[in-house]
Amino acid sequence: MDTYNRKRVVVTGLGMLTPLGNTVEKNWQSLCKGESEIRPITRFDTTNCRTKIGGEVKDFEPTNYMDKKTARRTSRFIQFSASAARMALEDSKLIIQNSTANRTGVSVATAMGGIESFEKSHKLVLEGNRDKVSPFFIPSYICNLAAGEMAIQFGTKGPLMCSVTACAAGTHSIGEAYRVIRYGHADAMLAGGAESPISPVIFAGLDSLKVMSTRNDDPAKASRPFDKERDGFICSEGSGMLVLEELNSALERGAHIYAEILGYGNNCDAYHITTPEPEGIGAADCMKLAITDAGLSIDDIDNINAHGTSTLINDQTETRAIKKLFGTRAKQIPITANKSMLGHLWGGAGAVEAIVSILSINNGIIPPTINLENPDPDCDLDYVPQVARKATVKTVLSNSFGFGGTNGCLIFGKFDR
């Protein structure tokens, strides 16, 4: 399909659950205030863990969003995604009818799926209680069942997709849903990501990799992207979901339009299983792919929502990538790292950060990168330290880079009819 016939894709609904709160508004207020809810882990005993802190979703009751039967048979990451999706649908006021179901789809990302369901069932097998493993174990564990559950709950019969690309999965989920609509295969998509990785096995594995912060005595200051004293990321849980629509469809029903998706990039470093390519070549190329897809130039980007994990190599590499692509303009672009407050939501991270990017466009505010008290000399860009900043934001580039060298970038723009 040639460029002229490509559909325009807009965002008409938002839903979010994170450690900062269980509504989009609560999250936005906390982010703008520079608040953190990183705390000691309560879900399991961390006595034998190097890292004892994380970002847990609090006061979450799944039956506020689904019936008790569904809540009992689904795992936490499915509950998160379905709940955030219901928020987004209600926000969008999109009603899925029999006549529109075949043109409405779902795209949900996760890195790990229902890991707590796996741990519980594995424990039963090891204890000799194989017959007590639930028949719902597999449907609550495998990654694509979040999308499947949402399709069942909301009656969507269009494309059904699941991105399982580590830390870039949420961005890929939205980007691939954008492509589905752009090329005319659907009129609307529920897209985003969810994760519930706070479990003994995941923490044991991450402890072995030594990638998490061990600043256990000061949890709120543990995630500190681009700071010289950073010592690792914070593992968090939650979900972000968006309603994407073809522009004419949204206009016909009088939908509120938050922003337009202008471009998407997806590539790979092909370098290392966990470490990004040191010079940021793959990340820079991915950002360029998104800018080119949007028909923009580097001068059109007003804000960058960084991957910003608070790990030594990732923050330096992302900084190099931004410099490589933007040249002398790199120091003129305000960059924010939401993970300084939210922690790292893995497959949910890109989706939550996409929502924050959209809210920056709508509200003219760039949330801060908190805990940036002693800047790394190798990270010398404008990371909006400590305090939110008022700004005219028409376009935002949102970055996600993951294990396996996978990269994803999205560009959101202020809607212009």
Among the candidates 231, 252, 273, a domain finishes at: 252
What pLDDT is attached to residue 5?
75
- Identify whether residues 34 and 72 lie together within a single domain: yes
In total, the chain counts a number of residues equal to: 417
Place of tokens 């990799």: 209
Q: What is the mean pLDDT of residues 293-321?
A: 98
- Domain carrying residue 139: 3-252
- Identify whether residues 180 and 56 lie together within a single domain: yes
259 belongs to a structural domain: no
Are 107 and 85 in contact by the 8 Å Cβ rule? The answer is no
- Identify whether residues 335 and 408 lie together within a single domain: yes
- Identify whether residues 240 and 275 lie together within a single domain: no
| Catalytic positions | 167, 307, 344
Whole-number mean pLDDT of the chain?
Answer: 97
- Distances in Å between the alpha carbon of 389 and those of 28, 34, 369, 392? 13, 11, 11, 10
Residue 4 has pLDDT above 90, yes or no: no
Among the candidates 226, 252, 278, a domain finishes at: 252
Q: What is the chain's alpha carbon radius of gyration, rounded to the nearest angstrom?
A: 20
- Closest alpha carbon to 401 in 311, 331, 323: 311
Q: What is the mean pLDDT of residues 219-247?
A: 98
> Quick one: tokens of 406?
């996978």
In this structure, how many other beta carbons lie within 10 angstroms of the beta carbon of residue 129? 11
Q: What is the mean pLDDT of residues 72-97?
A: 97
Residue 1 confidence class, pLDDT cut points 50, 70, 90 = very low
258 belongs to a structural domain: no
**Over the stretch 143-191, which tens digit does the pLDDT of each residue have?**
999 999 999 999 999 999 999 999 999 999 999 999 999 999 999 999 9
Among the candidates 252, 286, 317, a domain finishes at: 252
**How much is the pTM?**
0.97
What pLDDT is attached to residue 98?
94
Q: What is the mean pLDDT of residues 305-309?
A: 98
372 belongs to a structural domain: yes
- Identify whether residues 245 and 289 lie together within a single domain: no
- Identify whether residues 243 and 313 lie together within a single domain: no
User: Domain of 295: which CATH number?
Assistant: 3.40.47.10
Give the total number of structural domains in the chain: 2
Question: Strand, coil or helix: what is 106?
Answer: strand
Q: What is the mean pLDDT of residues 23-52?
A: 97
